[in-house]
Amino acid sequence: MTAKAKAYVALMKLRVVELLLVTTVPAMMLARDGMPSLWLIAVTLVAGTLAAGSANTINCYVDRDIDQVMGRTRRRPLVRATVTPTEALVFGILTGIASTLLFGLLVNWPSALLADGAIAFYVFVYTLGLKRRTPSNIVIGGAAGCFPVLIGWSAVTGTLSWSAVLLFAIVFFWTPPHFWALAMKFRDDYAAAGIPMLPVVASAETVTRRILGYSYVMVATSLALVPVAHTGPLYLVVALLVGVWFITEAHRIVRRVRAGDDPRAMHLFHMSITYLTLLFAAIAVTALI
């Protein structure tokens, strides 16, 4: 792979996309109440990857000025001038068009519209509208990362349901604890770039209290899926176990901050990824039994 090709792949932030796709297939399985065709899964994942890659690429284009200030983003292609801003913008638009056509022609048009909505929300609402203006940026803007469950559900059924809405809500309430933990670690980066992430503008105690509050709501929402989607006892047990595990760690981070200790925010960040993976794995298994 050439340096230019690697740069385009890097713009898509595929490591972030992997987490989004973890939620898509279980949502498809729950919608089908079994295993959808492998062809449908493959097309949905490819088109979904292109949609997320499009949004991430345009995000890199818009944020190229602050990416050169933040330590963790200084190696991105636009900062290193591996690709030009115009090349990045064109690539982002073309991948979005490709995603739309794949969804519309090979899956269905409702899924294509949802994918377009996710791209537009991430670019215009989060990146351009909220990110540099309000500490609520990730709370509202994080909704863009919840669209994959809706897209997966729609790919199977051509419509949405209350079960799909609850899946969306689980990821929506999961996003602030997940991202605020990361932002606590890179607080100085965001402050230097002038991004008002909550850990920049609020005390660590305030941030951890909000993490705890969202954790409770997230777990409650995951349990609400049981009667609505009829997920059964296996999912209920897993949701309870991983929910208690997550809330326990959220309480610990609050106590560490109050005691003046290292909050170990990245531990919660990595733990949140494991939590979401296990929860949606339980959803997938439930759909098969």
> Which pLDDT score is estimated for 71?
83
**Residue 1 pLDDT greater than 90, yes or no:** no
Range with lowest mean pLDDT among 7-21, 33-47, 85-99, 109-123? 7-21
Q: Check if the beta carbon of residue 60 is closer than 8 Å to that of residue 88.
A: yes
Q: Report the alpha-carbon angle 18-250-15, nearest 5.
A: 10
CA neighbor of 119 nearest in space, from 26, 48, 67: 48
d(Cα 57, Cα 52) in Å, to the nearest integer? 9
Chain-centroid distance, C-alpha 101: 23
d(Cα 254, Cα 229) in Å, to the nearest integer? 33
**Res. 275 pLDDT band, cuts 50 70 90:** very high
Q: Check if the beta carbon of residue 208 is closer than 8 Å to that of residue 253.
A: yes
**Residue 20 pLDDT greater than 80, yes or no:** no
CA neighbor of 156 nearest in space, from 23, 33, 15: 33
> Which pLDDT score is estimated for 239?
98
For the stretch 151-208, pLDDT in tens is: 999 999 999 999 999 999 999 999 999 999 999 999 999 999 999 999 999 999 999 9
Token pair for residue 46? 């490819």
